[in-house]
Amino acid sequence: MSPASESWRLRAEIDHGALRHNAAAVRKAVGDRPGLIAVVKADGYGHGGPEVAQTLAPFTAQFGVATLGEARAVRAAVPEKDLLILSPCLPEEREAAVRGGFIPVVSSTAEAKAYARLAQGKPARIHLCIDTGMGRIGVWQDDALKTAQEIAVIEGLEVESVSTHLPVADSDPAFTVEELRAWETLIGQIRAILPTAKFHALNSAGSLQRPEYAADRVRPGLALYGISPLPGFQQLLRPAMTLRTRITLVRDVGPGRGISYGRDFITTQPMRIATLAMGYADGYPRQTSNQGAQVLIRGKRCPILGRVTMDQFMVDVTDLPRDVAAGEEVVLFGKQGDGEITVGEVAAWSGTITWDVLTRLGKRVVVEHLDFLNRR
């Protein structure tokens, strides 16, 4: 059944062929040696964490998630893969993380000792984070060697990996190169203390632009979903998500009519205006209101008029054929016919970042997986 004839209002289509293409592109960029840690946090950046994990499993050494709950969901889909929990577990979650065989992040000797006390029968595995500039979690860089030495002698503990995170890999190349050079020096020093640990720092931007600093593993996220944080590399990737809605109403509107809350847009001439079945409650940014944002109908760009409301917004279809009617498909981002609107454009119209646009989809959006080879 075609999308136009199905009973649906909001749909995110996930192209698993694109996911495989992007994983192969990252692999080509970094070479054969480093393992891939595919980041599937935030429900796979809105693409469906368990489904994405199944598709990317042949390409990856491990998966990265943000929370214990995400780790459990992805583990059910790919039980054979190790899972790094990249955000700190709450104290009451630590025992479940150890019992589940997950690899939680630690930022201090005290945290490491807490996990060691929970080990039963075999060492608790942890992932040591070092803060080289992010200012979010991790051991401060100046304290890294001392902390590594303290952790190395704790019984009941295995330091599976050591990492840092790059705060400006997509915006400040000079700082990033300086940070990575210091990181390389630190790797050499910590390897002498923790010889079995694996080291990783490169996110998507780092993997694409600075593969020479790959170390043992790389940790791409956004690039796997087909969006490059660096415009110069976008041609290597294929966006995996297309977001669609439908027209619910088309009206002829005379001059002098206010459109949407606040009456920010007043018609000055006769227009045909379509109302769409999507709003900010579904994840389309309200901040696109009155910013020149557009959607695709029949492959043509149609401007958004007035403010985006909770469940609906309006677009100008005056220049489209008169037979445009309720039920017709609309693309919010993705391709339609010869037209394309990128996630980056939606982010720019709303004054935010592509990560934010992808991960904000609401519960009313139906996710459909295309070219998905379910391995369960």
Q: Of all residues in the chain, what percent are helix, strand and coil, respectively (each to 5)?
A: 35, 25, 40
Identify whether 113 is a catalytic site residue: no
Beta-strand pair 35-39/62-65: parallel
CA–CA separation, 147 and 169 (whole Å): 26
Only one residue has tokens 């992808």, namely 358
CA–CA separation, 41 and 152 (whole Å): 29
The two three-digit tokens of residue 179, written as one number = 């940070």
CA–CA separation, 241 and 47 (whole Å): 7
Contact indicator for 259, 269 with CB cutoff of 8 Å: no
The two three-digit tokens of residue 22, written as one number = 């992007």
CA–CA separation, 175 and 61 (whole Å): 29
- Tell me which of 28, 122, 146, 261 is the catalytic residue: 261
Contact indicator for 303, 341 with CB cutoff of 8 Å: no
Find the Cα–Cα–Cα–Cα dihedral 62, 193, 67, 63, rounded to 10°: -10
Contact indicator for 359, 45 with CB cutoff of 8 Å: yes
Residues in the chain: 376
- Tell me which of 28, 41, 300, 363 is the catalytic residue: 41
State phi, psi for 4 to the nearest 5 degrees: -70, -20
CA–CA separation, 274 and 260 (whole Å): 12
Identify whether 225 is a catalytic site residue: no
How far does the chain reach from its first CA to its final CA, in angstroms? 25
Q: Give catalytic residue positions.
A: 41, 261
